[in-house]
Structure 1
Amino acid sequence: MSHVLIIGAGGVGSVVAHKCAQVPEVFSRITLASRTLSKCEDIARSVKQRTGIRIAVEQVNADDVTATSALIRQLSPDLVLNVALPYQDLPLMDACLATGVDYLDTANYEPPDVARFEYKWQWAYQDSFTEKGIMALLGSGFDPGVTNVFTAWAAKHHFDEIHQLDIIDCNAGDHGQAFATNFNPEINIREITQRGRYFEHGEWVETDPLSWSMTFDFPEGIGPKKCYLMFHEELESLVRNIKGLKRARFWMTFSDQYLTHLRVLENVGMTRIDPVLYQGQEIVPIRFLKAVLPEPASLGPLTKGRTCIGCLMKGIKDGKEKQLYIYNICSHEEAYREVGSQAISYTTGVPAMIGAKMMLQGLWKRPGVWNMEEFDPDPFMHDLNTYGLPWTVVEL
């Protein structure tokens, strides 16, 4: 019986709250906190209506270490589950250090003033978390998160060595909007407009943004889609922790309409992350753009279709070459029926709940700062099938 403090009341925070409430034997107390209390109250009402479980709500500014530490001391949770913005990872880790409470997030830290996706800032907490006797689990979403676990599971059960890894993320859904992002627009656009990066023969190779593409034939009737090479943070930890990797890449699908809008916005300066002076005030263009784009949480009832995210791996087993594809397909409509959110939020929120469950049950428990692939993948893989993200493995 454990108490979890969820910080962040966006689309993913809503899914996490609903999914934790579905497992009361583990999450006996749930508190949801955010800068905007009304968002927490709306989610709490939905959770009560759908599950019969009452969750507590609090207001907190996750950038404020002192205020967050005070809230943690007041509530005494067993775990802080961070689904706020990536900029807030370090302040929340500082608050957990100050109060001696375990920590989990779904995306790595990035500084507000530079779109740089690296684990170095969080890995630097290894010694302090170890000395405090508390644990941080990094990247317990889908990608990163489930993709790390898929790779670790394949390495444990199907390969002696994995030599090539391609993580391929397809959203084959349609929300009918001219241009909208399926999660926080600021984070989404910062990620997409950066230079691509992949690992090959012991070094990182950079590419121009969205300059490399391939067509991949997705399973179960989704069919062929154009995928673009990007850098994604799980590559950094997987290259470090999965021995034998010679090449690791990440691919994501985008429609032509989405990319056309994005190029226009980029060309006119609306994706800039540095402040500009407007009528005597400094504004950051991408944050203004976020304010005028559809709220991702509003896309739930509009989005139809499915996502397909998986890992395509090549390697050696018993001296022979082997190729394996592990994937999950998630329906936007089914996710919305269950928790009131579309599949992008669902595929991140469910693994966040499962990661928290692993920690609270003691199945994944070790002082320090860890990535998903550094633990036994088997119980997590079991829970994916149990809690709404069933996976399929195919030998090619």
Structure 2
Amino acid sequence: MKRVLIIGAGGVGRVVAHKCAQNEDVFSDIWLASRTKSKCDQIASEITEKTGRTIQTAAVDADNVPELVALIKQIQPFMIINVALPYQDLTIMDACLETGVHYLDTANYEPLDEAKFEYSWQWAYRDRFEKAGLMALLGSGFDPGVTNVFCAHMQKHHFDTLDYVDILDCNGGDHGYAFATNFNPEINIREVTSNGRYFENGEWIETRPMQYKKQFDFDQVGPKNMYLLYHEEMESLSVNLRGVKRMRFWMTFGDAYLKHLEVFRNIGLDSIEPIMFEGREIVPIQFLKALLPDPASLGPRTVGKTNIGVIVKGTKDGKPLSRYVYNICDHQECYKETNAQAVSYTTGVPAMIGAMMMCQGHWMKAGVYNMEEFDPDPFMAALNEHGLPWSDIETDIDVDSLPE
């Protein structure tokens, strides 16, 4: 049994704390910290009511390495589960190195002043973590995270070559608002309004935002329009999968959501460049974030399901093969269990499972790693056990032949 420190008390942090509390045989002591301690206290109260367990809470500024170091030295956890903002990944990694503590996150580093997310900054920590005898597990959410493990599972059990990989992310939930985002609005809008990219024949091909669209009939959700985006798991998968020829990422969006984004972009509300307003400097996208509903508040009003998975086309024993592995998650069932909607749940549960893999020694090796670099089997088994059951089927679906 291990002591863990969770940093971040948003929707995902709530799920991670609940799920860790459900597994007392793995997580002996749980601390939850964020800039606003009252949010941690609220989650701790919920957990005591549901499970009878008591978790400890603390305030910490995740941008401040000395403050992080002081808290880590006080608590002395086995590892940090970082579900704070991606801007804070590097400061938390620095604090882990200084205190000799293992590290896990769910999203790769993104500079505050540049709409760019990639692993290069964190991969640069490889030697330092290895020399310190510490492990950092990157991207242990759903996508990235489970989708990486799905690919590793396909590579281990079904395919000799994975030629074509399509990652499909569908949120069929309805929260009743004209516009709201299911995770941090600033991160979500920056991600969606950026140029897309896909990987083909060893090169990255850039696309305009929402340039490519396909309609897909998602199991238990129905037909949805999905759009080609760039997503971070492709960066590591393009390196770690054997000989993949093409890899794409697709995400569903409704027409109303896209119309709001178009208006925000047209009037500059998605900008990260500071402007002067009434004698003070503001960042438009941060102002927009303040106007939008808190994603952590969407749980009680969100109905419907998510469906996230991977379609792989390749060969086995010289014969063509196509398989589809995916998970379906119900928003209201997630809320009943953890007081959070399914987008937070599908990120928080894999973060807990990734930590479980490290605490139990299934995945433990000094250095900085992505999810697909480890044996997928114990993680896949844990998904079935802890709330994210998956289906793995042969399929004749051809994404290229889907209607636009």
> TM-score if structure 2 supplies the norm length?
0.97
Aligned position for 1:15? 15
Aligned position for 2:158? 158
CA displacement at 1:183 relative to structure 2 = 0.5
- Measured in 2, the distance between the counterparts of 1:293 and 1:61 equals 23
Aligned position for 2:51? 51
Aligned position for 1:168? 168
- Measured in 2, the distance between the counterparts of 1:187 and 1:316 equals 37
- Measured in 1, the distance between the counterparts of 2:43 and 2:174 equals 24
Answer yes or no: is 1:385 the counterpart of 2:384. Answer: yes
Residues paired across the two proteins, number: 395
CA displacement at 1:212 relative to structure 2 = 0.8
Equivalences for residues 282-321 of structure 1 within 5 A:
282-321=281-320
Q: Which amino acid aligns with 1:37?
A: K
- Measured in 1, the distance between the counterparts of 2:305 and 2:219 equals 11
- Measured in 1, the distance between the counterparts of 2:393 and 2:218 equals 12
- Measured in 2, the distance between the counterparts of 1:230 and 1:159 equals 26
CA displacement at 1:321 relative to structure 2 = 0.5
Q: Which amino acid aligns with 2:378?
A: P
Aligned position for 1:358? 357
CA displacement at 1:244 relative to structure 2 = 1.3
Aligned position for 1:94? 94
Aligned position for 2:262? 263
Q: What is the percentage of aligned positions where both structures have the same residue?
A: 64
- Measured in 1, the distance between the counterparts of 2:197 and 2:332 equals 33
- Measured in 2, the distance between the counterparts of 1:94 and 1:152 equals 29
Q: Which amino acid aligns with 2:344?
A: S
Aligned position for 1:251? 250
Aligned position for 2:229? 230
Q: Which amino acid aligns with 2:386?
A: Y
Equivalences for residues 1-396 of structure 1 within 5 A:
1-220=1-220, 222-396=221-395
Tell me, what secondary structure is at the counterpart of 2:165?
Answer: strand
CA displacement at 1:316 relative to structure 2 = 0.7
Structural RMSD (CA)? 0.5
- Measured in 1, the distance between the counterparts of 2:48 and 2:264 equals 40
Q: Deviations over 1:209-231 (max 9, x none)?
A: 111111111123x2221100000
CA displacement at 1:264 relative to structure 2 = 0.4
- Measured in 2, the distance between the counterparts of 1:115 and 1:230 equals 14
Aligned position for 2:401? none
Tell me, what secondary structure is at the counterpart of 2:298?
Answer: helix
Tell me, what secondary structure is at the counterpart of 1:84?
Answer: coil
Q: Deviations over 1:39-71 (max 9, x none)?
A: 000000001111111000000000000110111
- Measured in 1, the distance between the counterparts of 2:265 and 2:42 equals 34
- Measured in 2, the distance between the counterparts of 1:75 and 1:278 equals 42
Tell me, what secondary structure is at the counterpart of 2:47?
Answer: helix
Tell me, what secondary structure is at the counterpart of 1:118?
Answer: coil
- Measured in 1, the distance between the counterparts of 2:69 and 2:245 equals 43
- Measured in 2, the distance between the counterparts of 1:67 and 1:117 equals 25
Q: Deviations over 1:298-329 (max 9, x none)?
A: 11000000000000000010000000000000
Segments of structure 1 that go 5 or more residues without pairing to the other structure are none
- Measured in 1, the distance between the counterparts of 2:273 and 2:50 equals 42
- Measured in 1, the distance between the counterparts of 2:323 and 2:107 equals 26
Q: Which amino acid aligns with 1:94?
A: D
Tell me, what secondary structure is at the counterpart of 2:256?
Answer: helix
Tell me, what secondary structure is at the counterpart of 2:217?
Answer: strand
Tell me, what secondary structure is at the counterpart of 2:276?
Answer: strand
Tell me, what secondary structure is at the counterpart of 1:321?
Answer: strand
Q: Which amino acid aligns with 1:256?
A: D
CA displacement at 1:97 relative to structure 2 = 0.5
- Measured in 1, the distance between the counterparts of 2:276 and 2:366 equals 46
- Measured in 1, the distance between the counterparts of 2:19 and 2:252 equals 27
> TM-score if structure 1 supplies the norm length?
0.99
- Measured in 2, the distance between the counterparts of 1:199 and 1:115 equals 20
CA displacement at 1:359 relative to structure 2 = 0.2
Tell me, what secondary structure is at the counterpart of 1:315?
Answer: strand
- Measured in 2, the distance between the counterparts of 1:58 and 1:340 equals 21
